[in-house]
Amino acid sequence: MNAIYYVSYQLKKGVSIPEFLAAAAQLNNEEISQKQGYISWQQLRHGDVWADMITFATMDDLEKFKVESNTPSELALKFYSYINPMAKGSKLHYFSVEKSY
């Protein structure tokens, strides 16, 4: 079954959303989409809360992504520069897909 990397966060005050989305697109197109087992990346939003949901083919693929993410690239650092890591409600989860309908 698939595995999901899910993180919720808020952007820093005054961030340009189009610039943030452009940084995310560049990170996805040039790096994350090239990772083993990558299926998709969805960016979700409700008010000030954003969430990234990245789907991988297996939990092993997600685990490899986690390890590789410990040393962020320049593209990842640019993406992270828009995010407020200390914002209330920021959470990181890893899920196995148990059932899809």
Q: What's the confidence (pLDDT) of residue 86?
A: 85
How many C-beta atoms surround the C-beta of residue 8 within 10 A? 17
Q: How far apart are CA 101 and CA 90, in angstroms?
A: 28
Segments in the chain forming alpha helices (H): 17-30, 59-69, 74-80
* pLDDT exceeds cutoff 90 at 78: yes
Question: pLDDT, tens digit, for every residue of 8-58?
Answer: 999 999 999 999 999 999 999 999 999 999 999 999 999 999 999 999 999
| Prediction pTM value | 0.92
Number of domains in the chain: 1
36 inside domain = yes
48 inside domain = yes
* pLDDT exceeds cutoff 90 at 89: no
87 inside domain = yes
Structural domain of 86: 3-96
CB-CB contact of 56 with 37 (8 Å): yes
101 inside domain = no
Query: Which CATH number do you get for residue 86?
Result: 3.30.70.1090
CB-CB contact of 97 with 54 (8 Å): no
